[in-house]
Structure 1
Amino acid sequence: MTLTVQPHRESVGLKAGQLLIGGTWCPSESGATWTHHHPATGEEVGEFAKGTAADVDAAVAAARKAFDSGTWSRPRAGVRIGLLHRYAELLRKHADELRALQALDNSVPLSFGGIYATSVGAAADVFDHHAGWVDKLGGQTLPPYQGGDHLAMTFREPIGVVAAILPWNAPFLLFAQKVAPALAAGCTIVLKPSEYCTFSVLRMVELLIEAGLPEGVLNVVTGTGEQVGEALINHRDVDKVSFTGSRAVGKHIVEASAGTLKRVSLELGGKSPAVVFADAPNVGVAAATVVGAVTMGLSGQACVANTRALVHRDVYDEFLGAAQGMAAAVTYGDPFDPTVISAPLINGRQLDRVLGYIEQGKTEGRLVTGGERLGGDLAGGNFVAPTIFADVANSATIAQEEIFGPVLAVVPFDDEDEAIALANDTEYGLGAGLFTADVQRAFRVTRALKAGTVGVNGFQIEPHLPFGGFKQSGLGREGGLSAIEAYTELKSVFLPLTDEMM
């Protein structure tokens, strides 16, 4: 039986997507539209407006007008706090609807949408967390350094108009990690969703308007990176760009920002290691955790997934056996089927790219399982079997380059020093994991790893923990106080208290 998502499309009631500019939903200036093809079936799912540079100009102008008016940038703190909390509750109320829209966008199965890091609940928690910072974004009053009677003070002020550019793989969390701190700080926003994950984001925007967000504070221009994204990063009236996506695009954004010295926050991916020591509490659980992150849910299309497993030789065979068992348990198909736990690759281009890396891997390691595109009832989609390569040198292409697919490279090591050296031998530094029962080793290795987030015997993203990377995994952090501060500018103020200093 051929796989189809059309019945779900009708039940969800998918609407045609439009742009949001200055509080009004409207078509693109050109009238052009993008047709979205479902990655699990190749079927046409729906259309949305394909924005242009002229649409970006209008959206940025609306955001600038809203910012300069002060209706959002200079209200009482309670206004922002109340709205962010109301929105968090609306997200929780509409969680099932949003998960269904995501399944039509990127085919992430409903079964995986309840896992915290990719859930609507996590996004709601991010908004609640940042609401708590609104009335705590204070500056400092400093004692005079020189003589005289005066005050030296600092203030934090919103940075201005923000261009928030989202990827397709985790719309709920990444929407929240960009929009929540920007709104909490008092900024206005022009948002560009990925063309491969638009409908769920548009619904999140609708709910934000329902929560009472003033007109023009959040504007949305859908479309391609070549048109909309390029216009945003080069726009002279955009004060900050926040982007999650590929390293190549991140570098391009840094270059484009030089003309106006825009503030930039970038989360650019990784080649994260999982270090499994011989004294791991449970090697089988470690293998299931690593393989699950690379194959379940997003099918390895997650920047922080541990796509390199560095395994001590004493437990190497045990790890590989458990890893094969976990890979065999992964199921694919209709994302609305509760027995399905993984997604296809997002599009044909990514499918070809991953299959190309797999062919390369066959020359660089021993293929343990997988390595092929799935056929039969799944032939219409972009499905690739969970793939594990053993005996891989850490210098190999599949151990160094971000594949963004269900491919795991397993590298053996002999001692702690070698494990640390291998883990850090990468241009990336987003995440890392280690599995050990030795608390001293856990802290010792954690301090030595060059990664923004390290999980010990498990991994989780928390709303109040900063998330971002070392080295070429990006600039800045999302989550926690550091995130909201990144949407502000510091202003120093000098105030004499007597006429003697005038």
Structure 2
Amino acid sequence: MTLTVQPYRESVGLRTGRLHIGGEWIPARDGATWTHIHPATGEEIGDIAVASAEDVDDAVAAARRAFDAGEWSNARAGTRIAVLRRTAELLRTHADELRRLQALDNSVPVSFGSVYATSVDVAADAFDHHAGWVDKIGGQTLPPYQGGDHLAMSFREPLGVVGAILPWNAPFLLFAQKVAPALAAGCTVVLKPSEYASFTVLRMVELLFEAGLPAGTLNVVTGTGDPTGERLITHPDVDKISFTGSREVGGRIVEASAGTLKRVSLELGGKSPALVFADAADVGVAAATTVGAVTLGLSGQACVSNTRALVQREVYDEFLAAAEGMAAAVTYGDPFDPAVMSAPLINGKQLDRVLGYIEKGRAEGARLVTGGERLGGEYAAGNFVAPTIFADVDNGSTIAQEEIFGPVLSVVPFSDEEEALALANDTRYGLGAGVFSADAQRAFRVSRRLRAGTVGINGFQIEPHLPFGGFKESGLGREGGQSSVEAYTELKTVMMPLGDEMM
């Protein structure tokens, strides 16, 4: 049986993706397009416009005009709140349509739409949450320090034009994590979605304008890293770049920001550890949770996934047995089939990369427990790799240190708490971590010593009101909650005399 998603493409009514600049949907200036190949079937799904450098210039100019005109940046709090909350309502109303678009984009199964971090609900909640911040973005009034009678005040003002660059793996969450706080703060935005997940984002943009967002406030330039992304990150009239993606591109953005001292927020890679202690309440649950994070839904293509399992020797064999059983239960295929649990890798390049890491693991002496191969048969046209577990992994080896971004778990044994912490922190990354222990004091103690931005104790959840980001080379800044809104503002101090004398 040959897999196909063409009937779903037709039922959704997929159209060629266009740019959105200054309130209008338009093709690329030179007519260039990019064809999206579905990762599960190898079929051509649809075309998107490839914005040229000149198209990006037009989008930035539209965002600048909108910001300076002040229809959104100077809007009353109630106006912004109403638009953001209406957006949340529309996202929930169109949730089924959006899940289907995502399945056509990146092949994340529609069955996985109930998992919060990859659901429409997380995007709607993020818009709701940031709407609540709009009328609370303020500064301080302080007493004079010296001199005459005067008023000393600080204000938070919108930063300006934001360039927001999204990856393909979680368009609902990442669209909302960037766009909602930027709009809540009063900024205007030029958004570049990944070419591998543009159709979902374009529909969400339509819903924002349906909610009442003024023309020019949000502009969209679809396309590839070069020319589209490159022009956006180097544009002199962009005040801030917010990026989620690879460490390599993040480094390029930091370099490009130096010329104009752009503000930068980066959420980059990870090699997150899960520390499983012998006193875990249920080692089988810990194994299933860890394996699920690198096999279900996104098939390990998530930067915060626990791709290293550090397991205490007393329960090492028990963990491996449960992990192997979990991996064997994962199902693949048509992302619209409710029984399918996991996605393929996004493209052929990533497929080759993951298979190369698997071969590297074998060559460096890790013990292959299960998986390690590309799936054939009815799955041969897609980029499917079987859930892969390596045991007895040296924590200094390539597969334990480098981000693979695929369904590969490295299991490393440890003897005691101190060794576990040393192994966990022995990485250039620091995005997430997990601790499995029934000892509340140990779990808390270990979580405080882990060099990671988010630590889950006996479980993990991304929530819109919590700051999310990484230590070390996993990024700069945080998204979510108060910290994300403040990241899209500048602080201004104003001093005003209250008498005739000068200060």
Query: What is the CA deviation profile of residues 110-147 of structure 1, one whole-angstrom value per residue up to 9, with x for unaligned ones?
Result: 01122101100110000000000000001000111113
**Distance in 2, Cα, partners of 1:89 & 1:413:** 48
Question: Which digits, 9 at most, give the CA deviation of each residue in 1:148-203, with x for residues without a partner?
Answer: 21111100000000000000000000000000000000000000000000001000
Q: Secondary structure at the match of 1:47?
A: strand
Aligned to 2:463: 462
Counterpart amino acid of residue 116 in structure 1: Y
Deviations 1:69-115 (A, max 9, x none): 00000011000000000000000000000000000000000011221
Please give the secondary structure, in 2, of the residue aligned with 1:382: coil
What is the CA–CA distance in structure 1 between the aligned matches of 2:438 and 2:3, rounded to whole Å? Answer: 45
Amino acid at match of 2:381: G
User: In the alignment, which residue of structure 1 is the partner of 2:138?
Assistant: 138
**Counterpart amino acid of residue 378 in structure 1:** Y
What SS does the corresponding residue of 1:385 show, helix, strand or coil? coil
Q: Secondary structure at the match of 1:309?
A: strand
SS at structure 1 position matched to 2:384: coil
Match of 2:156 in 1: 156
Matched, 1:360 2:360: yes
| Cα separation, 2, equivalents of 1:491 and 1:147 | 20
Alignment match, 1:306:
306
User: What pairs with 1:364-375 in structure 2 (closer than 5 Å)?
Assistant: 364=364, 365-375=366-376
Q: Deviations over 1:18-46 (max 9, x none)?
A: 00000000000110111110000110000
Shift of 1:482: 0.1
Whole-Å Cα distance in 1 between the matches of residues 61 and 16 of structure 2?
25
> Which residue is 1:445 aligned to?
446
**Partner deviation per Cα, 1:226-255 (whole Å, 9 max, x = no partner):** 111100010000000000000000000000
Compute the displacement of 1:498 (Å): 1.1
Q: Sequence identity, in percent?
A: 80
**Residue of structure 2 equivalent to 1:96:** 96
The residue number in structure 1 matching 2:209 is: 209
Residue in 1 that maps onto 2:116: 116
**Which consecutive residues of structure 2, in runs of 5 or more, have no partner in the other structure?**
none
Unaligned residue ranges in structure 1 (runs of 5+): none
Give the partner amino acid of 1:423: A
Counterpart Cα distance in 2 of 1:439 and 1:236: 50
2:370 and 2:260 mapped to 1: Cα distance?
Answer: 50
1:71 aligned partner:
71
Distance 2:421 2:471 in 1: 15
Instruction: Give distance in 1, aligned partners of 2:167 and 2:307.
Output: 19
Residue identity in the other structure for 1:194: S
- TM-score of the two chains, using structure 2 as the length reference: 0.99
Matches within 5 A, 1:26-41: 26-41=26-41
The letter for the 1-side match of 2:122 is: A
**1:445-498 CA distance string (max 9 Å, x none):** 011000000000000011100000000000000000000000000001111111
Name segments (4+ residues, structure 1) moved above 6 Å: none
Paired position in structure 1 for 2:397:
396
Aligned partner of 2:347: which letter?
N
Q: State the Cα RMSD in Å.
A: 0.5
Q: What is the Cα deviation at residue 11 of structure 1?
A: 1.1
Q: C-alpha distance in 2, partners of 1:456/1:387?
A: 24
Equivalent-residue separation in structure 1 for 2:70 and 2:354 (angstroms): 48
1:399-445 residue CA offsets vs partner (Å, 9 max, x unmatched): 00000000000000000000000000000000000100111101110
Name the SS of the counterpart of 1:427 in structure 2. Answer: coil
- Provide, for residues 331-387 of structure 1, a one-character-per-residue CA deviation record: whole Å limited to 9, x for no partner: 000000000000000000000000000000112300000000000000000000000
Partner residue, 1:84: 84
Q: How many residues align?
A: 502
Q: Which residue of 1 aligns with 2:23?
A: 23
Give the SS at the match of 2:373. Answer: coil
**Corresponding residue of 2:344:** 344
Provide Cα deviations, 1:290-310, integer angstroms capped at 9, x if missing partner.
000000000000000000000
Q: Distance in 1 between matches of 2:7 and 2:26?
A: 28
Question: Partner residue of 1:410?
Answer: 411
| 1:501 paired residue number | 502
